[in-house]
Structure 1
Amino acid sequence: MKIRLGYIGVEDTMEMVLAVIRKYPDYECYPYTHTRFEEIDDLLEQHSGEVDLWLFSGPLPYEAAQQSGKTSKPLFFIPYTGTSLYRTLCEILYQQKLLINELSFDILSQAELQQIFSEFSIKDCPIYNKEYSGSDDDLVEYHLKLWREGKTKAAVTCVWIVQQKLASLGVPVFRVRPTESSIEAVLNTALRAHETLQFMDAQVAVQIIKTDPYNGVSQELFSSDELFNMEMALTQKLLQYAKKVQGSLKHAGTGRFAIFTTRGIVRELTSNFTTIPDFAELKQLESQLTNCGIGIGRTVYEAELLAGKALLHTRSYKDGAWMVFFEDKTITGPLGKPEQLSYSYVSDDLQKISAASSLSIATLGKIQFILRKRATDEINAYELAQHMQILPRSARRILIQLEASGLAQIIGEDNPHPRGRPRKIYRITLNLE
């Protein structure tokens, strides 16, 4: 049975994308054209029951679909990869004879542009660039203003509607279009993700791994080719790891990779969410893999979103921390540590206490878990710091804040080291009366 793929794209690249999709016998494509982002909600609402997966022509319509909440089907988009921009820049630099500082860009990040320009041996060049802020009119105004002031001679946009509006205003404009390879890459990713969801009766699990391919590398200078080879070597190891966990790998931003698999597989390879997976590929990349967030969700989108939140929670710990965020909004981790915490991120009671104490729900959830684990409501700053893996002075600030909010009281002191400073013992009561 073929996979019903709904494709939402724009007019100028529609036939190109459809030609690539037709090469895949696994897909039956349902194409829909849009001219404005506002039309996406209606398309999703009308046709989500007819498709198994959604593919979008770029990250902006993809974001619009995510925010709409009109579909629970897996969502994918064709990225503006480096090769897409290379092709446009070659046309501009070598055919139109324009300079980089005569151009304005949008959507792509400053870091992405600088990396690409460095590979063209263009360094220390001022870049006019505006990232997306929720309005294509803002992008049009940005390019138009620079051109009218004589600061630029042309605009480079990733958005079809921006190209159309700028052209109607007389602004020379070039559009970054997807390449065949970028379309094939996302189709393969979507195909593997669908197979995982279809053939394994389990929730979706997404691992977002943060990497630093240059960590541990000597300070000597490298050519762009050598740097590219380092990144490719890291990616290859992650691909091998993804294969072992029966998942698919997707680039998720600078230094980040997402692996799509299932809850059952992740539970098995982490010993019921208690340890970091024991694979040779991960050990070989130990210095380059900084942190990992795992999200468990009912849909690909939910799991990916929770994985991102789990990754944010690893910031409280040293490099190498792995955290898991479940669909019921509970968090556990860091995996493999003796003082692993498991706490709720959404609780009506904790929300009220948070408002009264100015402490975050996450911090309160951790304290609640620690007290239950210790089977006592009494604790000192040193003990709290050990359990939360924070500095004692940070733990003291938390306890003082709880005391000031009427949620803790000092009941005594202990002095395990006669020459040391006595430690105040607090009794904590996490309730509001």
Structure 2
Amino acid sequence: MESVILKYPEFSCVPISYWHDDEIIEKLTTYMQDVDMWLFSGQIPYWYAKKWAGIAQPMFYVPSSGSSLYKTLLHIAYHQKISFNQVSFDTFHPSELERVFLESEITHEPLYLKHYEGEIHTDEVVRYHYELWKKGKTMAAVTCLKNAQYKLKSLGVPAFRVLPAQSAVVSTLALIRQTHETLHFKDSQIAVQMIEFDSFSSLTKDTYSTDEIYKIEIKMTEKLLEYAKKINGSLKSAGPGRYVIFTTRGLLQEMTKDFTVVPDLAVLQLTGNNAVTCGIGIGQTAYEAEINAGTALLHAKEYQKGSSMVVFDDNTIEGPLGQPEQITYGFASEKLQSLSEQTTLSVTTLSKLESILRKIRKMEINAHDLAQHMNIMPRSARRILTELESKGLAQVVAEENPHPRGRPRKIYRIML
């Protein structure tokens, strides 16, 4: 992989090696700030990183197939004289290996294959090959993992590794370059931050006067100018207590840690905790971004005073920023529009519900959990669920009683 990458001067390569799966996350953390993209030599470290979810940069891995697999099979057949029905494989999808055997006119079918989705511990792969060899069912192992090959050889198992083919590395580099160009375009998109603050929140009964409010607004403006300078933005007043900052997506994305935390606004020091409500809009034009920022502000106010929401250029809404229960939902689809017409529920409510179910990765939920995710009262959540049930879009599938003296909670299966 390194030898191929060196042929492309636009890439700067930082090689990172590991011997044990437990080292993967530690290694990634060490180099987190030094890279723009991650390229893994195989899918095991890739899936470990994906499951960890601590990486914000795009990730890729080079598939172990193509010419390098044919080369390995040729070596086994021609030099080692081993029959393919006595060889164990790992990583490959069954259909992929069957296709390779068919194209190579190999009469045997691949009998022993350890296929896996997602992450798997290297020791499990080693154990699979070793047990087959130990029982005399196989004479060799074909693996895509460097560490597995090393361990198998130390156990006496003839092990052959399928290396990433040069063509596969080149194709992956092309995909990385294309992704970089797309991200660069996104970074330069226009972003508008619409900020609304409550001037009265920092007043006491003794200090209430128009002069005091005016002083607070002057201080607010000074702090916002400092903040706008940080993100290379331009600050505009949009009426009493409301300001608009024009900047670019990349700078704002960095400031909010990929739209997960509330922007570091110095004005928060001058006001109460819930005094500043914020809407962020992304768009291809300043007009589109400003419209989206206004929409985001309305959603933030609807959720809770002092919240921050984002509306992207694809009309998806994300937030509230800084909250553990942050969700992403979209504007009206034809399906949700139709369901809204069948019920008394708004498209936004249905969209949020759909997003929550996608986030928790199941279709069952009770009113208490729904209320927690939506930041609404439990009785409002019960009303949503009973409305869906009355229209045949939900059904009670179980009950749970978390508190012995409390009322049992109905669990609904949602069928949007």
Offset at 1:242?
1.1
What is the DSSP-based 3-state SS (H/G/I as helix, E as strand, rest coil) of the residue aligned with 1:246?
coil
Pick the aligned partner of 2:383 from 393, 397, 406.
397
CA contact (8 A) 2:343 2:387 kept: yes
CA contact (8 A) 1:205 1:263 kept: yes
Pick the aligned partner of 2:305 from 309, 312, 319.
319
Q: What is the CA–CA distance in structure 1 between the aligned matches of 2:297 and 2:390, rounded to whole Å?
A: 31
Pick the aligned partner of 1:328 from 299, 314, 334.
314
Offset at 1:335?
0.2
Map 1:4-403 to 2 at 5 A.
Answer: 202-220=188-206, 224-285=210-271, 287=273, 289-403=275-389
Offset at 1:302?
1.0
Q: What is the CA–CA distance in structure 2 between the aligned matches of 1:422 and 1:242, rounded to whole Å?
A: 51
Offset at 1:373?
1.4
Q: What is the CA–CA distance in structure 2 between the aligned matches of 1:210 and 1:236, rounded to whole Å?
A: 15
Offset at 1:225?
3.9
Whether 1:411 aligns to 2:404 is no
User: Scaled by the length of structure 1, what TM-score is found?
Assistant: 0.51
User: Scaled by the length of structure 2, what TM-score is found?
Assistant: 0.53
The total of aligned residue pairs comes to 232
Q: What is the CA–CA distance in structure 2 between the aligned matches of 1:308 and 1:377, rounded to whole Å?
A: 32
Cα deviation 1:310-366 (Å, max 9, x = unaligned): 111112333320000111110000000000010111312111111112311111111
Q: What is the CA–CA distance in structure 2 between the aligned matches of 1:329 and 1:253, rounded to whole Å?
A: 26
CA pair 317-240 structure 1, distance change in 2 beyond 3 A? same
What is the DSSP-based 3-state SS (H/G/I as helix, E as strand, rest coil) of the residue aligned with 1:215?
helix
Cα deviation 1:14-67 (Å, max 9, x = unaligned): xxxxxxxxxxxxxxxxxxxxxxxxxxxxxxxxxxxxxxxxxxxxxxxxxxxxxx
Mark the runs of 5 or more structure 2 residues left unpaired by the alignment: 1-184
CA contact (8 A) 2:190 2:286 kept: yes
What is the DSSP-based 3-state SS (H/G/I as helix, E as strand, rest coil) of the residue aligned with 2:318?
strand
Q: What is the CA–CA distance in structure 2 between the aligned matches of 1:260 and 1:353, rounded to whole Å?
A: 37
Q: What is the CA–CA distance in structure 2 between the aligned matches of 1:229 and 1:308, rounded to whole Å?
A: 26
Cα deviation 1:187-216 (Å, max 9, x = unaligned): xxxxxxxxxxxx996111111111112312
Offset at 1:230?
2.1
CA contact (8 A) 1:215 1:287 kept: no
**Of 256-265 and 287-296, the range deviating more from structure 2:** 287-296
Offset at 1:282?
3.9
Q: What is the CA–CA distance in structure 2 between the aligned matches of 1:204 and 1:213, rounded to whole Å?
A: 28
Mark the runs of 5 or more structure 1 residues left unpaired by the alignment: 1-198
CA pair 282-200 structure 1, distance change in 2 beyond 3 A? farther
**Of 317-326 and 224-233, the range deviating more from structure 2:** 224-233
Offset at 1:429?
0.6
Q: What is the CA–CA distance in structure 2 between the aligned matches of 1:368 and 1:425, rounded to whole Å?
A: 16
Q: What is the CA–CA distance in structure 2 between the aligned matches of 1:388 and 1:233, rounded to whole Å?
A: 34
Offset at 1:406?
1.2
- Supply the AA of the counterpart residue of 1:307: A
Q: What is the CA–CA distance in structure 2 between the aligned matches of 1:312 and 1:294, rounded to whole Å?
A: 11
Q: What is the CA–CA distance in structure 2 between the aligned matches of 1:333 and 1:226, rounded to whole Å?
A: 33
Structure with greater Cα Rg = 2
CA pair 312-282 structure 1, distance change in 2 beyond 3 A? same
Offset at 1:223?
5.3
- Supply the AA of the counterpart residue of 1:337: Q
Q: How large is the RMSD of aligned CA atoms in angstroms?
A: 2.0
CA contact (8 A) 2:274 2:307 kept: no
CA pair 237-351 structure 1, distance change in 2 beyond 3 A? same
CA pair 231-238 structure 1, distance change in 2 beyond 3 A? same
CA contact (8 A) 2:202 2:270 kept: no
CA pair 340-287 structure 1, distance change in 2 beyond 3 A? closer
What is the DSSP-based 3-state SS (H/G/I as helix, E as strand, rest coil) of the residue aligned with 1:350?
helix
CA contact (8 A) 1:241 1:282 kept: no
Q: What is the CA–CA distance in structure 1 between the aligned matches of 2:309 and 2:388, rounded to whole Å?
A: 26
- Supply the AA of the counterpart residue of 1:278: D
Q: What is the CA–CA distance in structure 2 between the aligned matches of 1:319 and 1:223, rounded to whole Å?
A: 23
Cα deviation 1:381-403 (Å, max 9, x = unaligned): 00111111111111000001111
CA contact (8 A) 1:323 1:333 kept: yes
Offset at 1:269?
0.6
CA pair 300-338 structure 1, distance change in 2 beyond 3 A? same
Cα deviation 1:263-297 (Å, max 9, x = unaligned): 11111111111101235454444547421011111
CA contact (8 A) 1:330 1:346 kept: no
CA pair 200-426 structure 1, distance change in 2 beyond 3 A? closer
- Supply the AA of the counterpart residue of 2:407: R
- Supply the AA of the counterpart residue of 2:219: A
CA pair 224-373 structure 1, distance change in 2 beyond 3 A? closer
Q: What is the CA–CA distance in structure 2 between the aligned matches of 1:249 and 1:357, rounded to whole Å?
A: 43
Instruction: Percent identity, please.
Output: 55
CA contact (8 A) 2:201 2:271 kept: no
CA contact (8 A) 1:214 1:288 kept: no
Q: What is the CA–CA distance in structure 2 between the aligned matches of 1:310 and 1:360, rounded to whole Å?
A: 17
